[in-house]
């Protein structure tokens, strides 16, 4: 049976390749730090179950130490020359986007198709399995069409990951933090504090607190999926769903959208906000966040209104 373990194996191969390319790159003065960082990520993918909670905790601390003490670096070398990029763009045109579209198309098709074969696929993880398969298919299509060297995707992937640095794994770290908060009962503590501030019997107050709380916790934790279990335990379940008999589907779905508004306004959402700034080499690393605030605030207000008017009919 194909399970999530195979996805971890594939991811581990990619991280191991990034570590190897860094290790042999004598032009990078911080090649050993980069190699250690991505090598530890490969170990996490391959042996996370074996290491256990304590071992994985030490591994995370090692990752933080490498990044925190400036052990990561990047070099300009290895980029494809501008003239070559322009030549290839003129030759292949917008057809190049077809390679990228293979990934979401495979993920969508596999999500529906693989569920029909529970003997061969873990039906609970078919989306992630399909996503990994889509990446492999996209690599195969790109290689067959463009005739690139087999190692080129990994070497360029290494260059991209070195440019992004520690921010590339921040979403996973923050999602894990959300799970820790939920298990530690942070939602109950937060709920007790917030409920004291909400006027008794005020549905509007509870909805506003939930929506704003989703956005704020997302800004703090950098991930709406990490904020969701906290705010559902604090306000969503005890007040909106149980006390005011709200529709759970509407509250949860639009509540996540409210959280995504917080994603637009925080540098903690590194994959959305810091990574583009780094790749575009913007002078202000927070330029993306500042630009998105004008969109995020009205969207948050609309989402709060939608919960209030749709979930309690």
Mean pLDDT per 10-residue section of the chain, whose length is 313 residues: 92 95 89 95 94 92 92 75 81 87 94 91 92 94 87 88 83 74 77 82 93 92 84 90 94 95 89 78 87 96 96 88
pTM of the model: 0.76
Torsion on CA atoms 296, 300, 303, 307, rounded to nearest 10: 160
Distance (Å, rounded) from C-alpha 160 to C-alpha 288? 19
Quote the pLDDT of residue 92: 85
Interatomic CA distance for residues 68 and 165, integer angstroms: 11
Q: Check: CB of residue 188 under 8 Å from CB of residue 234.
A: yes
Residue 282 to residue 26: CA distance in whole angstroms:
27
> Where in the chain are the domains?
4-164, 185-310
Phi and psi for 52 in degrees, rounded to 5? 80, 180
CA end-to-end span of the chain, whole Å? 45
Report the distance separating Cα 64 and Cα 71, nearest Å. 10
Give the total residue count for the chain: 313
SS3 sequence of the chain: CECHHHHHHHHHHHHHHHHHHHHCCCCCCCHHHHHHHHHHHHHHHHHHHHHHHHHHHHHHHHHHHHHHCCCCCCCCCCCCCHHHHHHHHHHHHHHHHHHHHHHHHHHHHHHHHHHHCCCCECHHHHHHHHHHHHHHHHHHHHHHHHCCCCCHHHHHHHHHHHHHHHHHHHHHHHHHHHHHHHHCCHHHHHHHHHHHHCCCCCHHHHHHHHHHHHHHHHHHHCCHHHHHHHHHHHHHHHHHHHHCCCCHHHHHHHHHHHHHHHHCCCCCCHHHHHHHHHHCCCCCCCHHHHHHHHHHHHHHHHHHHHHHHHCCC
Under a CB-based contact definition with an 8 Å cutoff, are residues 154 and 11 in contact? no
Give the C-alpha separation, 102 to 282, whole Å: 30
* Residue 200: per-residue pLDDT: 82
222 token code pair: 């950098």
- Cβ neighbours, 10 Å, residue 33: 18
What is residue 78's predicted lDDT score, i.e. its pLDDT?
62
Q: Contacts by 89-94 with C-beta closer than 8 Å and gap 24+? A: 92/146
């Amino acid at each position: 049976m194909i399970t999530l373990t195979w996805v971890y194996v594939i991811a581990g191969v990619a991280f191991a390749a990034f570590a190897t390319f860094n290790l042999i790159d004598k032009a990078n003065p911080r090649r050993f730090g980069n190699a250690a960082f991505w090598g530890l990520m490969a170990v996490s993918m391959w042996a996370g179950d074996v290491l256990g909670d304590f071992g994985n905790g030490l591994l995370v601390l090692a990752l933080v130490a490498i990044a925190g003490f400036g052990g990561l670096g990047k070099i300009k070398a290895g980029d494809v020359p501008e003239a070559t990029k322009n030549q290839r763009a003129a030759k292949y045109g917008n057809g190049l986007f077809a390679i990228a579209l293979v990934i979401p198309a495979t993920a969508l098709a596999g999500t529906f198709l693989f569920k029909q074969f529970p003997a061969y696929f873990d039906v609970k993880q078919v989306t992630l399995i399909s996503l990994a398969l889509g990446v492999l298919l996209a690599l195969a299509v790109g290689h067959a069409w463009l005739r690139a060297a087999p190692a080129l995707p990994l070497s360029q992937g290494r260059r991209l990951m070195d440019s992004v640095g520690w921010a590339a794994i921040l979403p996973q770290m923050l999602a894990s933090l959300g799970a820790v908060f939920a298990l530690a009962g942070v939602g109950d503590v937060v709920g007790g504090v917030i409920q004291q501030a909400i006027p008794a019997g005020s549905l509007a107050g509870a909805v506003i607190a939930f929506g704003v709380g989703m956005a704020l916790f997302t800004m703090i934790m950098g991930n709406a999926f990490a904020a969701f279990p906290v705010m559902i335990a604090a306000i969503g379940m005890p007040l909106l769903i149980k006390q005011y008999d709200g529709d759970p589907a509407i509250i949860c779905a639009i509540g996540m959208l409210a959280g995504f508004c917080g994603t637009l306004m925080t540098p903690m959402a590194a994959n959305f906000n810091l990574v583009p700034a780094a790749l575009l080499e913007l002078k202000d690393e927070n330029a993306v966040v500042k630009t998105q605030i004008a969109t995020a605030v009205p969207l948050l207000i609309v989402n709060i209104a939608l919960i209030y008017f749709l979930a309690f009919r």
